[in-house]
Structure 1
Amino acid sequence: MNLMSHSSDKQNALILWFDEITLEDVPLVGGKNASLGEMYSRLSSKGIKVPHGFATTTKAYRFFLSENKIEGEISHILSELNPHDLESLREKGRKIRSLIIDCPLPKELEKEILDAYSQLSKEANLKAVDVAVRSSATAEDLPGASFAGQQETYLNIRGKDNLLYSIKKCFASLFTDRAISYRTDMGFEHSKVALSVGVQRMVRSDLACSGVMFSIDTESGFSNAVLINASYGLGENIVQGIVNPDEYYVFKPTLMKGYKPILQKRLGGKEIKLVYDIGGEKIVKNVPVPPEERKKFSLTEQEILTLARWACIVEEHYSELKGSFTPMDMEWAKDGLTGELFMLQARPETVYRGQLRNYIEFYRLKGKGRVLVEGRSVGDKIAHGKIKVIRNIGQIDQFKEGEILVTEKTDPDWEPIMKKAKAIVTNRGGRTCHAAIVSRELGVPAIVGTENATEILKDGMTVTVSCAEGEIGKVYEDEIPFEIEKVNLKEIPRPRTKIMMNVGNPEEAFELSFLPNDGVGLAREEFILTNYVRIHPMALVHFDKLREGEDKEKIKTMTENYPRKTDFFVEKLAEGIGMIAAAFYPKDVIVRLSDFKTNEYANLIGGADFEPQERNPMIGFRGASRYYNPRYQEGFALECQAIKKVRESFGLVNLKVMVPVVRTVEEAKKVIAEMEKNGLKKGENGLEIYMMCEIPSNVILAEEFCELFDGFSIGSNDLTQLVLGLDRDSEIVAYLYDERNEAVKRMISSVIKTAKMKKRKIGICGEAPSNYPEFAEFLVKEGIDSLSLSADAIIKTTLNILQLEKTLFG
């Protein structure tokens, strides 16, 4: 198959086939092609498929320059370069590119390229195979320098003349404006960077889908998740931020044990797709995606899992080669003719690779404002500044240092001004588009996929760009003050008392997992139900009984891709709970069953038809009393199915369950029986069931409850309210509400003693320990096992508890 034998001297080769190339050959074929060869030659046996191809070597590139005697002229043109003078940069780049394009390829090189192309076509049983022609520079993908998209790629190239011309264009792309500017800023000498060109058989993803994936979460640096982006057609649209793709998260540790842990599936817009321009003037073109296809996920669950496994295999292979953890940035495609998946590229991820999370920064807004636009947040920072809308590349010289860049999308040509931006906001793109990748490298906040930022935001407006509020980034009107808390994680030892976390928002879980913690003492379903599910479960179980109207139409639309409407509830709730359980795996994560009051349940879509009217919902039909009641029993079954899916399908057996508002021992028995009926049997596969201790009867009958549950979490808010007999929401009697009241403390002391006597775990999930240091001291003295707190109280309370334990125990 090969035109040169494997024993030949690679150093003198002008062409190398992928099966002759390994990662050691970066000086010969650049980062991308060396990586392709590494996967083709060493990972095919592990199931990873890479389209075959060959690469011109860096010797071929230098041979081209020397035969045409243009090295000196290129150096002369660049000798007086000021990379920040955009007009000068454009002119010098244009001159060099024209110079290269106008030169012929040496005959010897041309022959080797054409012979290799003929061989590749013969393997495909075609007269002329379609190929992708990709640039691969020797300075690519170094730590802190990704060179993302710096050189060109040409797709759907067919025929010898087209191939030769595309290779010359790749050579010339080493001197695009952005590549010259980037090398100068990164300190690379232009003359020492050489180019290899990969010629790879095209995968017909124009008939299916393609995308990118990372073996790490690109926002937080959480290393146990694979992030996959996918859209219809050729993959350039995702990289360039032209489409908002589908997004999937897969949990690595249990995936490789045989589970199916797809933590999240988010449907993207996928409005257009890049396809072959058969018979047209252009090589590829964008066409609209039919509305019915946009509403469907572009990958099946099995394909998602296959890609995620490949990501794990590639990451493990590169980590072993490099001797340290090496997260990977990969491109993949699905062939629409054969249905096969292929890996197209793999390179080390450049933002988080080699970083140790020794410290963490928290950005927090200190005020409120009017939200102007929203999109996907990139990073977790906040910035103030004045808006500058740049609609096309011809306007970039109008951009000034410190402004906020607002545009349709970015590509590598925009990098000279992206470096000057305080923040970046785009209409298009997902979290793996060009704007997102470069923003992460630069450390500036970005919001992508807003759809209408260029219309809403006007030049000169002062705004606050916030990426510190979870997955949704927001642009606020005016300058809103914010604070930054920087915490050195290495300086905080663990106290004897466990410090756990209260977590409601799954989108924050990966980032929060880096805080010093002992797991999650309270994962609330309520946030997930409100923001992920949004539909009342009984409205899905009894959809036919729902009144005709807006709610019914919304439910039809939201559930149209699901075989059964109830599957929507189970999947969305499982995804939300699963994200939290995965973030803190293998530490305990205790999820509390739904604890909405009837008026809150009624606010869910379709909820008003299934909820009774109560005068005092706070002490009405809530918590355990709902789960076995025919009014909600079938809805509770769906909650149980979601939790079972997280534990059994995702493999997240660190998930425990907690029952709220258990009023009597008989009620506790009914709920436990209902859970077992729905597949959640206490003790099976390590399942522990806890109860909230928030009612005086829970304390008085603690010994009896100990016979039924594995532990307790004290809900100090409700317990204080019911011990003191007051409505904590009433401003008239609010001054009486205090967890430090002696009656409340005696109740807490009593239940801790009983739990200890019965060898049951006991913690607290209220904010009192962080609000009142003396209350925390009381709890530690009483011997409580754990405190579960909101994230912003974790550090302060941990330090207080460490000092307290030192005083108490030495």
Structure 2
Amino acid sequence: MNPTPNSLKDKKPFVLWFDQISLKDIPLVGGKNASLGEMYSHLSSKGIKVPNGFATTAEAYRFFLSENRLEEEIKELLSGLDPHDLENLRDRGRKIRALIIDSPMPKELENEIINAYANLNKEAKQQAVDVAVRSSATAEDLPGASFAGQQETYLNVRGKDNLLHSIKKCFASLFTDRAISYRSDMGFEHTKVALSVGVQRMVRSDLACSGVMFSIDTESGFRNAVLINSSYGLGENIVQGIVNPDEFYVFKPTLMQGFQPILQKRLGGKEMKLVYDIGGEKIVKNVPVPPEERKKFSLSDEEILTLAKWACIVEEHYSQLHGRFTPMDMEWAKDGLSGELFMLQARPETVHGGKARNVLEFYRLKGTGPVLIEGRSVGEKIVHGKIKVIKSIQQIDRFEPGEILVTEKTDPDWEPIMKKAKAIVTNRGGRTCHAAIVSRELGVPAIVGTERGTEVLKDGMIVTVSCAEGEVGKVYNGEIPFEIEKVNLENIPRPRTKIMMNVGNPEEAFDLSFLPNDGVGLAREEFILTNYVRIHPMALVHFDQLKEGEDKKKIIEMTEIYPRKTDFFVEKLSEGIGMIAAAFYPKDVIVRLSDFKTNEYANLIGGQDFEPIERNPMIGFRGASRYYNPRYQEGFALECQAIRKARETFGLFNIKIMIPVVRTVEEGKKVIAEMEKNGLKKGEKGLEIYMMCEIPSNVILAEEFCEIFDGFSIGSNDLTQLVLGVDRDSEIVASLYDERNEAVKRMISSVIKTAKQKQKKIGICGEAPSNYPEFAEFLVKEGIDSLSLSADVVIKTTLNILELEKNLFQSS
């Protein structure tokens, strides 16, 4: 234990060391410092490093006010305050802060602080150690009462005089305009909130990197992911939205089993870094990051995994303390001198932590229009509104309730008008910046990191702000119509027939996982290849043979940070597959290998050099025929590597594989052999391999196919096309295309019967059971194992199937 300057038995202490503090001391040292003490005392033994320090207590703050006779003056200045009169609020706050800063530090309190600082210097074996001086209000960081950054933090403070002055500035920050407004809105009495100040050894992250971390997905509330944001320099830039940071997702369940499930690595701009301003007046300053550093990730894979493990340990500890699931919001830093990682802060996440998702809301656009600007979406809502561009804090009086706030970035001073905004759009910031955090708490959609929002969007414009289209948020010109579907999930039983989902977009997977489901019956690689990878795999394998041109330039730019160009393909595809498989873990996720047609493969970057021109690509070089053919064999090897990484590196053994367009039994055997050659052996580590049943030969030879595959998924779209001889892309003969045709139904009935006899799984992933209730009834009567549906019809079809099964099996 660190030495304490006074006896706890004699009087309430003015200073406590971190190892004397735990979470029960929130009334004494506030949420931030209590949490630091809790981690320092209880989690150091589990490998989490917390820089040592001490905290002044609420008693110290009250002693300071009492000795300087400030309480009555502060009460008088706040009497009759209207927090929405911003000019009056500013005037009163300024006067109170001046009173505090101009008052002397009482000698008794000063001595205790200076003695504690001397002991911190002694421990560090330095004459004057650099410290961070952080405010911790005693009503802050409690569930339901935690806006980001209500009081001030001062970094790189050195020497006793600077320390004492910084502590007084922290005391004064209890009366910033934003803090006064916040307490008024939350119903806290100003005089009943005290302030503790944490004094903690600085981590030299100015020479490395730092960031924030959540043990839950901040957008969807998905519990099994850790989200890490990282940027060079001190961490304030991320919170303030000055930089677009690197972003990493890690999957918690398999991480704690010893796997390395980094589901996503997204390179941020990291344009600036906050560093010590040695000899300067401002203590810290922002400097540009060299271009070559911006193109690198700020954390290694090992560091990402270490931080994610810490997040899991912290979350488990706080969940046990609170007796309920408690996701955490954390700050961390890497010391550039020692290379060590440190945890700087941990507090309960306040948006999703206590939220039950019994009712889901789905916002959907019902039209389209010109997209004015794009950025990172925060939330999932859509709103219409009028733009108001506010370029500085001095202009906030111009903002009217219900307008859409457009600005460079926000900080806590902006909160009075953020509460009035219908939506928020910023030029800068990532998904953990101040604007993002506050908009989530307010339930207001936001689009951050647009870069040019304040230039493109003009006062008075009527726009549609959409955060309902995945990760990319869009501002449309005009009022685009939209709908809101509310789904009550309480008391929906599971039908006998499994209801699975068709999922292609990894960005939607966490959200979709909340729908009642039995897993993913069709995870399409095509969406991932089109939107994540974008480059033809053979163009990466044979990059040197590509002719010079725009495609080659794009490939160089996109793969610049990868040791080998093919690593880009494997990483991006494995991340996309991994996000979907993690979202539904441990339920089955059946990944269908790439099923582009030649004209679609040709649209990928570099694709035209490797794809033949076919008259009818629909029944040409697609599916299984590609995978063992020398034209694509090396590209298929990369697909296999990506799936193997998602299974064996990420630990997502719930991934199954499905092969499309298997025309003959011999072709099926060739593909299985090709997969085994690339490390995906049927039956090994639980690997199941299915085939699409979408060609008449699949039905006719179903018994033979059963000998080599674990099951079937009926592709009713292609099967209907080939049974009836109707091109499903032709509008001229579209009226003849109908899955309910008796010929199609007989084929489906036959293959279900064969699969049942051979004890193989069989499902369907076409749209027919969603579109036609009578077709779903037919499938259930035939005894199909599962229906895999698009997300928008899952609830409706589940209810229909439940009613159908009730009528069919009521005698059971």
CA contact (8 A) 1:11 1:28 kept: no
Amino acid at match of 1:33: N
Report the counterpart of residue 282 of structure 1 in structure 2: 282
| SS class of match (1:555) | helix
Aligned length: 810
Secondary structure of the residue aligned to 1:705 is: helix
Deviations 1:150-201 (A, max 9, x none): 0000000111111101000000000111111111111111111110000000
Matched, 1:561 2:561: yes
Aligned 1:690-701 pairs, distance under 5 A = 690-701=690-701
For 2:750, the equivalent position in structure 1 comes to 750
Q: CA deviation at 1:8?
A: 2.8
Cα distance change, pair 781–340 in 1 and its aligned pair in 2 (3 A): same
Distance 1:459 1:600 in 2: 42
**Deviation at 1:607?**
0.6
After TM superposition, give the deviation of residue 6 of structure 1 in Å.
10
Q: State the Cα deviation string for residues 201-258 of structure 1 (Å, max 9, x = none).
A: 0000000000000000000000000000000000000000000000000000000000
The one-letter code sitting in structure 2 at the alignment partner of 1:384 is: H
- Taking the aligned partners of 1:372 and 1:514, their CA distance within structure 2 comes to 31
Q: In the alignment, is residue 215 of structure 1 matched against residue 215 of structure 2? A: yes
- Aligned 1:278-357 pairs, distance under 5 A: 278-357=278-357
Residue 573 of structure 1 pairs with residue 573 of structure 2: yes
Cα pair 1:590 1:658 within 8 Å, conserved: yes
Scaled by the length of structure 2, the TM-score of the pair is 0.99
Distance 1:198 1:590 in 2: 51
* Corresponding residue of 1:582: 582
Question: Which residue number in structure 1 is paired with residue 481 of structure 2?
Answer: 481
Q: Distance in 2 between matches of 1:614 and 1:588?
A: 36
Give the 3-state SS of the residue equivalent to 1:491 in structure 2: coil
- Shift of residue 491, structure 1, vs aligned partner: 3.0
Q: Which amino acid aligns with 2:754?
A: T
Give the corresponding residue for 1:761: 761
Aligned 8 A contact 1:234 1:275 in 2 = yes
Contact 2:7/2:13 (CA < 8 Å) preserved in 1? no
Residue type at the aligned position of 1:756: K
Question: Which residue of 1 is the match for residue 622 of structure 2?
Answer: 622
Distance in 2, Cα, partners of 1:143 & 1:719: 54
- Secondary structure in 2 aligned to 1:750? helix
Please show how residues 47-126 of structure 1 align to structure 2 within 5 Å.
47-126=47-126
Q: CA deviation at 1:75?
A: 1.0
1:776 is the counterpart of 2:756: no
CA RMSD in angstroms, aligned pairs only = 0.9
Q: Does 1:512 align with 2:512?
A: yes
Residues 13 and 57 in structure 1, CA contact (< 8 A), matched pair in contact too: yes
State the partner residue of 1:596: 596
The letter for the 2-side match of 1:704 is: E
**SS of structure 1 residue aligned to 2:490:** helix
Counterpart residue number, 2:689: 689
Once the two structures are superposed, what CA deviation does each residue of 1:537-590 show, in whole Å capped at 9, x if it has no partner? 001111111111111111111111111111110000000000000000000000
- After TM superposition, the structure 1 stretch with the greater mean CA deviation from structure 2, 351-360 or 294-303, is 351-360
Report the counterpart of residue 25 of structure 2 in structure 1. 25
Structure-1 separation of matches of 2:137 and 2:658 = 55
Match of 1:458 in 2: 458
Deviation of 1:512 after TM superposition, in Å, equals: 0.4
Q: In structure 2, what is the Cα distance between the partners aligned to 1:192 and 1:502?
A: 54
Task: Quote the residue 2:268 is aligned against.
Answer: 268
1:365-514 aligned within 5 A: 365-514=365-514
Say whether the 8 Å CA contact 2:499–2:786 is kept in structure 1.
yes
| Runs of at least 5 residues in structure 1 that lack an aligned partner in the other structure | none
Alignment partners' CA distance in 2, 1:260 and 1:607: 32
- Structure 1 residues 779 and 72 mapped into 2: Cα distance closer, same or farther (>3 Å)? same
Query: In percent, how many aligned pairs have the same letter?
Result: 85
Aligned mates of 1:518, 1:93 — CA distance in 2: 56
Change (3 A) 1:759 1:9: farther
SS at match of 1:475: strand
Corresponding position: 1:361 with 2:361: yes
Partners of 2:111 and 2:392 in 1: CA distance: 41
Q: Secondary structure at the match of 2:484?
A: strand
The question of whether the paired residues in 2 share the 8 Å contact of 1:380 and 1:468 is answered with yes
1:76-97 deviation digits (Å, cap 9, x = unpaired): 1111110111111111111111
Kindly report which structure 2 residues correspond to 1:175-254, keeping only aligned pairs within 5 A, or say none: 175-254=175-254
Q: SS of the residue aligned with 2:198?
A: strand
Shift of the alpha carbon at 1:3?
Answer: 3.0
Which residue identity is paired with 1:328?
M
Secondary structure class of the residue paired with 1:330: strand
Given that 2:5 and 2:112 are in contact with CA atoms closer than 8 Å, whether structure 1 keeps it comes out as no
- Counterparts of 2:3 and 2:254, CA distance in 1: 44
Residue type at the aligned position of 1:703: E
CA distance in 2, matches of 1:417, 1:183: 15
Larger mean CA deviation between 201-210 and 542-551 belongs to 542-551
Shift of 1:10: 9.6
1:11 Cα deviation from its structure 2 partner: 6.8
CA contact (8 A) 2:74 2:96 kept: yes
Which deviates more, 208-217 or 799-808? 799-808
Moved over 4 A (4+): none
Select between 113-122 and 45-54 the one with higher mean Cα deviation: 113-122
Structure 2 residue matching 1:630: 3-state secondary structure: coil
Describe the SS at the equivalent of 2:521.
strand
Tell me, in whole angstroms, the C-alpha distance in 1 between the residues paired with 2:549 and 2:400: 51
Render the CA deviation track for 1:665-697: whole Å, top value 9, x for unaligned: 000000000000100001101000000000000
Question: Residue 364 of structure 1: CA displacement?
Answer: 0.5
Paired with 2:93 and 2:363, the residues of 1 have a C-alpha distance of 40
2:97 aligned partner, one-letter code = R
* SS of corresponding position for 1:12: coil
Pairwise CA distance, 1:728:
0.7
**What is the rounded CA distance, in whole Å, between the counterparts of 1:9 and 1:288 in structure 2?**
52
Query: What residue in structure 1 maps to residue 647 of structure 2?
Result: 647
Cα contact 2:447–2:474 (8 A) shared by 1: yes
**Residues of 2 paired with 1:557 and 1:684: CA distance?**
38
Q: Does 1:715 align with 2:719?
A: no
Cα distance in 2 between the residues matched to 1:787 and 1:9 = 69
Superposed CA deviations along residues 422-449 of structure 1, whole A, max 9, x for unmatched, are 0000000000000000000000100000
Shift of 1:645: 0.4
- In 2, Cα distance between equivalents of 1:280 and 1:211: 24
Amino acid in structure 2 at the alignment position of 1:381: K
For residues 108 and 3 of structure 2, what CA distance do their matches in structure 1 show? 13
Structure 1 CA distance for aligned equivalents of residues 358 and 6 of structure 2: 46
- C-alpha contact (below 8 Å) 2:5/2:115 kept by paired residues: no
Q: How does 1:7-46 map to 2 (within 5 A)?
A: 8-9=8-9, 12-46=12-46
The answer on whether the counterparts of 2:245 and 2:269 sit within 8 Å (CA) in structure 1 is yes
Following superposition, the deviation at residue 7 of structure 1 comes to: 7.7
Pair 1:155-2:155 in alignment: yes
How much does 1:124 deviate? 1.3
Alignment-mate amino acid for residue 722 of structure 1: L
**CA contact under 8 A between 1:6 and 1:20: conserved in structure 2?**
no
CA distance in 2, matches of 1:582, 1:454: 37
1:637 matched to which residue of 2? 637
- The answer on whether the counterparts of 1:144 and 1:441 sit within 8 Å (CA) in structure 2 is no
CA contact (8 A) 1:381 1:466 kept: yes
TM-score w.r.t. the length of structure 1 is: 0.99
Which letter maps to 2:451? E
Structure 2 counterpart of 1:797, which letter? Answer: T
Aligned partners of 2:147 and 2:438 also within 8 Å? no
